[in-house]
Each structure stands twice: as C-alpha cells, then as structure tokens.
C-alpha cells in the first residue's frame, strides 16, 4: 500500500512541476539575428491550476560558431536579462497564446558570427509548501 501511496505522490508532484514549465515562444529555433540589434524574447507559461510564484528569468547568449554549444547549465554566456518574470494574457495576442512576457534584449555587437545559443533559466516556487523549481531551456540562433 505504501508503494501505491508513494507512486500517487510522485505522479502528482511530476504533474505539478510539468505544469509550471515555461517555453521560448520567440525567437524560433534556427532564427537569424544581427549582432548589435535588439530582439524580442517571448517566454510563455501555460495556465496551471496549482499555485506558483514566479521568481525570476535569466536570458543569456552563448556564442559557439565553431564548436558545439554547451548546455545552459554549463554557462549562460552574455547575460542579456536578469530580473523578474510576470507572465500575463495580452489583449492583442491570438486566443491560443498562453500567458507570456516579452523581453527586449540587445545582441552584443561583439557576438561572433555563426551559431549561438539563446538560453533561458526560469526560477519559481510551486505548491502550497513553496518548493523551489529551476529549469533551463534554449534555442539555437544564427548570428549574422
């Protein structure tokens, strides 16, 4: 019986955590950006029934034109944004668009041309006990 109880608890926890995950809505994987230009990074967070408190988002750019990009956990590269995250529905957004927040960031003029990785680190507190939750995700960009 204890096994079943533990399995139910684990399943519930995994469902709550997966509902808290964010995604990079823009730019799309493989997009081209110009060094020195500003771009919009959209971070989406689907609605959830479980309680959560958003803490922060960190957005970074790691140049990797001639070598494979490392995972975001190995380093964020140039930090483009570090601060609060407050996803909201927007009136002008299509009806299918989840709560999100847009961040305008500048691609460093010193960014090497070629492949780069745009990484996002998301921190939130989930559940009634305010358990810390950390996730990282990325898209590959082409700096021109």
Residue-wise pLDDT for 40-75, tens only, equals 999 999 887 678 899 999 999 999 988 888 776 678
Token couple for 112: 């090497």
Q: What percent of the chain has pLDDT over 90?
A: 62
Q: What percent of the chain has pLDDT over 70?
A: 83
DSSP string for 59-83: EEEEE-SSSPPPPGGG---EEEEEE
Give the three-class secondary structure for 34: coil
> What domains, with CATH codes, occur in the chain?
2-143 (2.60.40.1930)
- pTM of the predicted model as reported, rounded to 2 decimal places: 0.82
- Sequence-ordered list of residues with C-beta below 8 angstroms from that of 83, at least 6 positions apart, any chain: 56, 57
| Omega cis (within 30) before 33 | no
């Amino acid at each position: 019986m204890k096994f079943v109880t533990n399995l139910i608890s684990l399943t519930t926890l995994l469902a709550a955590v997966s509902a808290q995950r964010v995604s990079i809505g823009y730019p799309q994987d493989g997009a081209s950006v110009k060094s020195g230009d500003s771009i919009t990074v959209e971070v989406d967070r689907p609605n959830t029934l479980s309680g959560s408190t958003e803490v922060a988002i960190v957005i970074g750019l790691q140049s990797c034109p001639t070598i494979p990009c490392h995972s975001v956990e190995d380093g964020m590269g140039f930090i483009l944004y570090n601060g609060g995250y407050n996803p909201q529905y927007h009136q002008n957004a299509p009806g299918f668009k989840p709560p999100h927040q847009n961040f305008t960031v500048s691609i460093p003029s010193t960014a090497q041309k070629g492949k780069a990785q745009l990484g996002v680190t998301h921190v939130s507190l989930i559940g009634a006990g305010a358990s810390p939750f950390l996730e990282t995700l990325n898209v590959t960009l082409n700096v021109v």
